[in-house]
Amino acid sequence: MFMINTAKNMFKREDYSESEEEKEYSDSEEEILDDYFEGKSQINKNTFFVKIKPQGTKLIKRWRKNRNINDEFAEKAAMIQEEFYRNDGGYIFDCAISLCKIRNEHQYYIIDGQHRFSIYNRVENKNDRPSLPCTIYIVEDESKISDLFIRINTRVALDLDEEKKNQKKQDMLKYAMKETFENKAIIDIFGRNRPKISENKFFEKIKNTRCFKELEFQQITDKLVVINDGIQNMNLSYIRKYKIRESSYVKAQKCGFYLGLDKEMRWMKDLQ
């Protein structure tokens, strides 16, 4: 919905304006190849919201002004997608990318969302990928692509929903924590029974910390390791302070994961 609203706002300028009559008799729809797209919805005369089928990605090329792909980020994000696939039976690609198409040419240039597109092409089970949401802008010549590239990327930087940014960071933090602690603990660190940690409560609390807002996900994970080791060194004093069952502490000792002992996670204050 964010990309649809952005697209609507971006075409309020006179050079992209349209009357209802123009919209009704628009021929731009013929520019979208049905063999490669589905769920076509016309936003205005020259703008469409569609889903591109996996086989249609061969039509998409990188726009020359795109920044370079951060391969490390893309690889980690692709691994998270593989986790979704294993646990939930499918990949999750629900954020739209933006494409530009010069009229009468069958080439699409990606002008926003190149990392999402890169992740989409890195997953292992390519035949099981869902169709990828995208906004397509039909333009008359290459100069309009440059204009749209500047306007969209400036607008996205200003308007990007804070919750979506937090969700991406949350997913990466979850992956980093599981990689860090589960290799040591050989357990699923999220769950109901201690020394597991309540995933919902953890992210509800951590998103309100200054640490979550200011640090990268790996830096936060490093801090959590320090806190975990600190609880380990407190031994009986920690048990008495938070009235923890001795049996729970013994379980934590066996797996080396102590963050779940205090169900209220009062150690979260050390992240501030």
Same domain assignment for residues 145 and 217:
no
Q: What's the average model confidence in pLDDT over 212-225?
A: 86
Question: In the predicted model, what is the mean pLDDT of the chain?
Answer: 78
At which of 160, 192, 217 does a domain end? 160
- Confidence at residue 261, expressed as pLDDT on a 0 to 100 scale: 87
Same domain for 65 and 114, yes or no, is yes
**Closest by CA position to 108, among listed 187, 218, 33:** 33
Q: 183 is written with which tokens?
A: 């290799």
Nearest to 120 by CA among 81, 172, 175: 81
- The pLDDT, as a whole number, for residue 104 is 85
Q: Are residues 138 and 15 in the same domain?
A: yes
Query: pLDDT at position 33, please?
Result: 57
By three-state DSSP, how is residue 92 classified? coil
Looking at the structure of the chain, the number of domains it has is 2
Residues 6+ apart with CB under 8 A from 166: 207, 212
**112: helix, strand or coil:** strand
Three-state DSSP state, 68: coil
Instruction: Decide which of 160, 185, 202 is a domain's last residue.
Output: 160
* In a shared domain, residues 54 and 121: yes
Residues of the domain holding 112: 2-160
Q: Please write the tens of the pLDDT for every residue from 236-250.
A: 777 777 788 888 888
Rounded-to-integer distance, Cα 129 and Cα 76, Å: 17
DSSP 130: P
pLDDT tens, 113-170? 888 999 999 999 999 999 999 999 998 888 888 777 777 765 554 444 566 677 778 8
**The last residue of a domain, from among 160, 193, 209:** 160
What pLDDT is stored for residue 251 in this prediction? 85
pTM of the model: 0.50
Best mean pLDDT range from 16-25, 39-48, 178-187: 39-48
Same domain (yes/no): 117, 36: yes
Instruction: Let me know whether 12 and 127 are in one domain.
Output: yes
Residues 147 and 38 in one domain: yes
- Contact between 134 and 94 (Cβ < 8 Å): no
131, 51 contact by CB (below 8 A): yes
pLDDT of residue 25: 32
Stretch 70-99: mean pLDDT: 89
Element (H, E) at 135: strand 132-139
Q: How many CA atoms lie within 13 A of 246 on its CB side?
A: 1
Q: What percent of the chain has pLDDT over 90?
A: 12
